[in-house]
Structure 1
Amino acid sequence: MKCAIPVALRGVREMSGDPDGFEAWLRDRVPERGLRPKGAAVLEVLLTQPRRASYASAAEAAELAGVNVATVSRTAQALGFTGWVDLQQELRARYLSSLSAPEVAAAHRTEGELGAASLRRDLESMAVLSRRLDDGLVRTIAEAIAAARRTLIVANGSYVAVGSALGHNVGLAGYQASVVRDDADLANSVSRLEPGDVLVAISFWRLYQSTVTAAEEASSRGARVFVLTDAASPALVEAAEQVVLIPAEGVAFFPSLAPGMAVAQAIVAHLSTVDPERTRRSIEAAEAQWARFGLLHRRPRRG
């Protein structure tokens, strides 16, 4: 027989503080029927020891909760994840988003060379992304961009690099896209969005309010909103048609750019297949102008 979780652990929204915090997020995922007592013990570990849990193996989490590994896996599934690894990935992203930059650096204190550690972390994140990324979702975003009159890409901080790469390659594929970094420019650009246009919001670690506002306004204007992030804010989920969850944890102060860039590349790879002739003409036209402007040190041989 299943019993309700203790009052302190019930998934009641009124008990939550910050709606974007890991505690509110976890409480909101508890099923209406509650959890079994052992599942509640796992949840208590997640709520009270988020740092330890976010870096622990399933066996270590089981030991902290005083249960077996199977219970940890079942609890993760009851909370809506495929298993412990997926739950842990998002728990860690949400936990880190609650920390300041110095606190993140302290949480990431790593022995040995940080360069090698950074490469290892990227490889691990790419492996997780490869398992989790829904190819159908990537195709949906690409087809939406292809069908749109215009695409607006919103990115801030270091993730401007991901937005710029996405915008550059969308244009190269033959479609209209602009990347917005400045808040005043963002407000003006959103004011011109129409039904069927696309807004792609790229935000990791700590969320910019301007990104949330842009997503909400774009959605209210009938634009299709897609979000690339490591932990989906309730406000963004409400505004977005689809959210792509991407691991972005790095080492030291810095979130990783590699998985976000990989998803951007996956989107434009799909985009190039929507109308291959259009993309071919666009690339050939760009190639001609590269030659006209003398941009390349080595010119390709003529076919």
Structure 2
Amino acid sequence: MSTKTVAELMRAHRRELTAAELQIMQALLADYPAAGLQSVAGLAQLAGVSAPTVVRLTAKLGFSGHADLQARLRAELSARAAAPADLYPATADPGSPSAALQRCEQHIGRAVIEALHGADERDCDLVVAMLAESPGPILVTGGSISAGLAMYLSTCLQLLRPGVRYVEPQHGPRATALLDVSDKHTVIAFDYRRYERDTIRFGSDAAARGAQLIVFTDTYLTPLAREATALVTSSIDGPGPLACLTPAFAMIDALLVAIAERDPEARRRRLTQLDQLGRDTAG
């Protein structure tokens, strides 16, 4: 049985799903993972499809039955709530630094490959189009763990296009930013477990004001995913107790490459103008 989350499995099978099965997928993602903990009949009613359609989708995802799918969702709920202390290694033997490097090489390297290989092409294409072609302003924000990701993306995007602004993850800067948000804006929010109420509220408020919302999250999905125009997921499970953000950085780099390849002459002109303005460089 696959170790992927139910959300990952649905997104991986998206192209194989019938219209009715896609309705179930949409219903599940709109209230993930709680919607899947209903009975077959309850989920069918929520999605507006027949009970046999729910059963067929469950089998298509590789589960032996609805109870098997629900067991996976309950395990995901437990994983979402896990604190760093819960993930701390039980062993008292620290091992050698070289052994830790080897574990990280294997685990993190595999996680990066899985993130890039398993990326949802539809959502990635949509993100690239939104960030490369949208003429409106772009706001980028993150949480206590993911602020570094948000700063990195916003800094790189500013080199490639105008109108990009990083929003500090505090109430004041976010409230001020929301004052001007409209349907001309694109908002990018990073939110990884354990999910942060303030980030979810900011993203939800921006979407309510008409902004297009891009959400970067882990494979268990922030509640903000239900508001997203496009979703970019990557695992944050690492060999240690702390979140591993390397796969998320890899996803950002891949998207930046794709954005840079859209209208490369315009990107090159912008970088040339930046150099002419006398920006300090290390070389």
* Offset, 1:132: 1.4
User: Using the alignment, how far apart are the partners of 2:256 and 2:273 within structure 1?
Assistant: 18
* Offset, 1:242: 1.7
| Correspondence 1:1-303 to 2 at 5 A | 24=34, 26-27=36-37, 32=44, 33=51, 38-40=64-66, 42-43=68-69, 45-46=71-72, 50=75, 91=76, 94-106=77-89, 112=95, 113-145=99-131, 146-181=133-168, 182-230=170-218, 231-233=220-222, 235-289=223-277, 292-296=278-282, 298=283
**Pair 1:294–1:225, CA change in 2 (3 A):** closer
**Pair 1:103–1:26, CA change in 2 (3 A):** farther
**SS of 2:176's equivalent?**
helix
User: Using the alignment, how far apart are the partners of 2:92 and 2:191 within structure 1?
Assistant: 24
* Offset, 1:202: 0.8
Structure 2 length-normalised TM: 0.71
User: Using the alignment, how far apart are the partners of 2:115 and 2:191 within structure 1?
Assistant: 16
* Offset, 1:38: 4.9
* Offset, 1:127: 2.2
Which whole-Å deviations, capped at 9, do the CAs of 1:98-142 have from their partners, x for residues lacking one? 112200224899985333322322112122212211334223112
**Structure 2: gaps (5+ residues):** 1-30, 45-50
**What's the % identity of the aligned pairs?**
16
User: Using the alignment, how far apart are the partners of 1:101 and 1:163 within structure 2?
Assistant: 22
2:191/2:217 contact within 8 Å kept = yes
Which whole-Å deviations, capped at 9, do the CAs of 1:166-197 have from their partners, x for residues lacking one? 10111100222112222210111122111121
User: Using the alignment, how far apart are the partners of 1:29 and 1:118 within structure 2?
Assistant: 41
Aligned length in residues: 231
* Offset, 1:265: 1.4
**Structure 1: gaps (5+ residues):** 1-18, 51-90, 299-303
* Offset, 1:25: 5.7
Which whole-Å deviations, capped at 9, do the CAs of 1:67-88 have from their partners, x for residues lacking one? xxxxxxxxxxxxxxxxxxxxxx
**Pair 1:218–1:294, CA change in 2 (3 A):** closer
1:108/1:252 contact within 8 Å kept = no
Which whole-Å deviations, capped at 9, do the CAs of 1:228-273 have from their partners, x for residues lacking one? 101223x413321122221121132211111111111122222223
What amino acid is the match of 1:208? E
What amino acid is the match of 1:39? G
User: Using the alignment, how far apart are the partners of 2:158 and 2:121 within structure 1?
Assistant: 22
* Offset, 1:156: 1.6
When Rg is computed on C-alpha atoms for both structures, the one with the higher figure is 1
**SS of 1:265's equivalent?**
helix
Deviates more, 1:272-281 or 1:36-45: 36-45
What amino acid is the match of 2:161? G
**SS of 1:158's equivalent?**
coil
